[in-house]
Amino acid sequence: MRVLMFGPDPTTKGGIATVIANFKNHFKTVANDIFYLESWKEGHLSKRILSSAKGIVTLPFQILTKKIDLVHIHIAQDGSYFRKAIAVRLTKLCRKKVLLHVHGSHFDMYHQESKPWLQRHLIRTLQKADKIIVLNEDVQAYFREYQIATEIIFNAVPVPKQQKMASERSQISCFGQLGKRKGTYDILKVAEVLKRKYPSITIVLYGDGDTVEVSRIIQDNKLTNVKLGGWVSAEEKELAMQETLIHILPSYQEGLPMAILETMAHGIPNIGTYVGGIPSVIEPGVNGMLIQPGNTTELEQALTLLLEQELLREQMGIAAYEKISHEFSMPVYLRRWEKIYSRLE
């Protein structure tokens, strides 16, 4: 099968770009030829508009000249939805099959909170797809009510060679866009307590987003144990993980965060929340900890437990590595995609 993958530039920020980059770097198959077309590029407004327009205009020509059988479209909410809704219709006009890969951490809420005309439009777009892939059971159950069948394929990550975690690590990391949805402000509430109890521990927040407001809170509350790491490249992230003792992501809404999978693949225990696909990978007390979103008391307790019990932390790190290796590694993931593509032939 000849597949055209339509989504953002894989060198840009964000989980979708990471997924596409993993496909480009790891998906090697005899049965399928995969081509890539960018729907969006990072940059100033005019660059983003031009790249989106180029992707949409080029799509039908790519389908015809490359003799494409299936267009694998990566879709999320807001601007991504409108770009990909056009792409779906263009693909069907070319009489080719559409696979919609839904990444939005709250794509169900996006539909629910949209105006009636957009709700109808979104359902019609989904109905045009030959196959729909989602990241968690919440989104699957929501659209089942509209008689839309979906299949879950969890994200996956490359798994490095297992390394023993160095005891001298003293950094708690959070990889993700700064803001309420990712639980950034809950981390800041807990930071003052950690500063008193564990003065040698530093919390580093990696990502963009609400950086101005977060910086103000850090300064106003003299949170000298909290630092902003900015948005990091893949190489910089690798170095940051080597300094990371615990990864925290107390999100309010999620699909299945790449940051959790990536850190677990490095043997780092995680503290996450009972949202989206996170409970499918973090087993409380086995390879990490789960808390209720917004519960800073539970967040503080989980951090205290992992900081004080080195043996437990090490055991969870080993279990985290094993979980990703067996269920969320690239070979496992790509075999699932081979089956999906073969069923669409």
Q: What is the DSSP letter of 52?
A: H
Within this chain, domains 2-156+329-343 and 171-327 share the same CATH topology: yes
Q: Rounded distance, CA 6 to CA 100, Å?
A: 10
pLDDT at 106: 82
Domain boundaries, the chain: 2-156+329-343, 171-327
3-state secondary structure of 151: strand
CA distances to 34, 91, 134, 236 from 3, rounded to whole Å, are: 5, 12, 19, 32
Q: What are the tens digits of pLDDT across the range 228-251?
A: 999 998 889 999 999 999 999 999
Q: What are the tens digits of pLDDT across the range 168-216?
A: 788 999 998 999 999 999 999 999 999 999 999 999 999 999 999 999 9
Q: Is 25 exposed, middle or buried (0-12, 13-18, 19+ CB in 10 A)?
A: exposed
Q: Is the CATH code 3.40.50.300 the one for domain 2-156+329-343? A: no
Within 10 angstroms of residue 116's Cβ, the number of other Cβ atoms is 7
- Confidence at 256, pLDDT banded by 50, 70, 90: confident
pLDDT at 170: 87
Q: Is the CATH code 3.20.20.70 the one for domain 171-327? A: no
DSSP-derived secondary structure for 287-323: TEEEE-TT-HHHHHHHHHHHHH-HHHHHHHHHHHHHH
Query: CB-based contacts of 259: which residues, under 8 Å, 6+ apart?
Result: 174, 175, 176, 247, 249
Q: What are the tens digits of pLDDT across the range 119-141?
A: 999 999 999 999 999 988 889 99
Q: What is the rounded average pLDDT of the residues 51-78? A: 96
Q: What are the tens digits of pLDDT across the range 32-48?
A: 999 999 999 988 889 89
Q: What are the tens digits of pLDDT across the range 264-290?
A: 999 999 999 999 889 999 999 999 999
Q: Is the pLDDT of residue 299 over 90?
A: yes
